[in-house]
């Protein structure tokens, strides 16, 4: 009897181990459940619960999108507005990927004068990647290391832009406050105000930080300098030659409503000239 019981226990153990292995293998080949498709401000806010995931923006977010009043408006969080993804500098950095797919995040409001590392994202760490996203009409206020898109970047930011207003004291940039990572094919055209390490695109480019093929508007930003990037006048920022000459994947179109997704960037060069904008990716 004891021998039969031992045999049963062994078979049960083998069965449980097999089930565990199959479950583990299934997990390896299945999409990770924590990765997000972002359609609302609530979805965007949920990134902070999965800082190493791969997240994709599925549409524009603005003041009419679900969650704006509670999370990103001037009345959200007792007048503080959006809480930067991660929060403050003491938290783990964002090390996942955020693919904007050419969509825009609009009307973002942040008022955190007592904090540092402030932007849509607080800190992007090594391995983190943000790409193909536009920020339009942002209003960001803080003290140290502040930008429209990122407070401080040690990862990779590419094919992105920010417009609006960024106000701080030290380490203030239209796109990001501090950079020790990589920034490429990006621009800022918003107003930038600060006291130390202030730049139209990047406030403080640190250590091994590199900024390539990126620009800021010297007129709308109110800044003649940036710690990285190339300053251009508003007319030059609306000239396709500025960007095609830098190797951007860009094409001129006649109407912003007629985006050409065969190119990463589109720009209107007729009578109603525009800054470059991202085409929606299929």
Map residue 276 onto helix, strand or coil.
coil
196 φ, ψ to 5°? -130, 140
Query: Could you tell me which residues come within 8 angstroms of residue 156 by beta carbon, excluding any fewer than 6 positions away?
Result: 124, 128, 129, 130, 131, 181, 182, 183, 184
pTM over the 0.75 mark: yes
Whether 216 contacts 191, CB under 8 Å: no
Percentage helix, strand, coil for the chain under 3-state DSSP, each rounded to 5: 20, 35, 45
Check whether 69 has a pLDDT greater than 90: yes
Determine the Cα–Cα distance for residues 118 and 89; give it in Å rounded to an integer.
Answer: 9
Query: How are strands ordered across the β-sheet holding 265-268?
Result: 250-253, 265-268, 277-278
Fold of 34-231: Pectate Lyase C-like (2.160.20)
**Which pLDDT tens digit goes with each residue over 193-233?**
999 999 999 999 998 999 999 999 999 999 999 999 999 99
Determine the Cα–Cα distance for residues 229 and 231; give it in Å rounded to an integer.
Answer: 7
**Which pLDDT tens digit goes with each residue over 99-108?**
999 999 999 9
């Amino acid at each position: 009897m004891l021998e039969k019981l031992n045999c049963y226990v062994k078979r049960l153990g083998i069965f449980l181990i097999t089930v565990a292995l199959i479950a583990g293998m299934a997990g390896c080949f299945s999409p990770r459940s924590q990765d997000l498709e972002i359609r609302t401000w609530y979805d965007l806010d949920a990134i902070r619960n999965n800082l190493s995931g791969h997240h994709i923006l599925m549409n524009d977010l603005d003041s009419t999108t679900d969650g704006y009043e509670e999370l990103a408006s001037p009345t959200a969080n007792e007048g503080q507005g959006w809480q930067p993804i991660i929060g403050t500098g003491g938290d783990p950095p964002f090390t996942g990927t955020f693919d904007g797919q050419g969509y825009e995040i609009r009307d973002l409001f942040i008022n955190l004068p007592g904090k540092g590392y402030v932007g849509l994202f607080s800190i992007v760490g090594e391995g983190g990647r943000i790409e193909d996203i536009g920020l339009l009409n942002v209003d960001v206020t803080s003290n140290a290391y502040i930008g429209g898109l990122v407070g401080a970047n040690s990862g990779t930011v590419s094919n992105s832009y920010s417009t609006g207003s960024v106000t701080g004291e030290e380490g203030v940039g239209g796109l990001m406050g501090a950079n020790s990572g990589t920034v490429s094919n990006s621009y800022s055209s918003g107003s930038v105000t600060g006291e130390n390490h202030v730049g139209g695109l990047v406030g403080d480019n640190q250590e091994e930080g590199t900024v390539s093929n990126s620009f800021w508007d010297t007129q709308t930003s109110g800044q003649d300098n940036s710690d990285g990037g190339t300053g251009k006048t508003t007319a030059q920022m609306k000239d396709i030659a500025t960007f095609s000459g830098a190797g951007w994947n860009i094409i001129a179109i006649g109407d912003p409503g007629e985006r050409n997704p065969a190119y990463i960037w589109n720009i209107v060069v007729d009578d109603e000239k525009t800054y470059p904008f991202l085409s929606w990716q299929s």
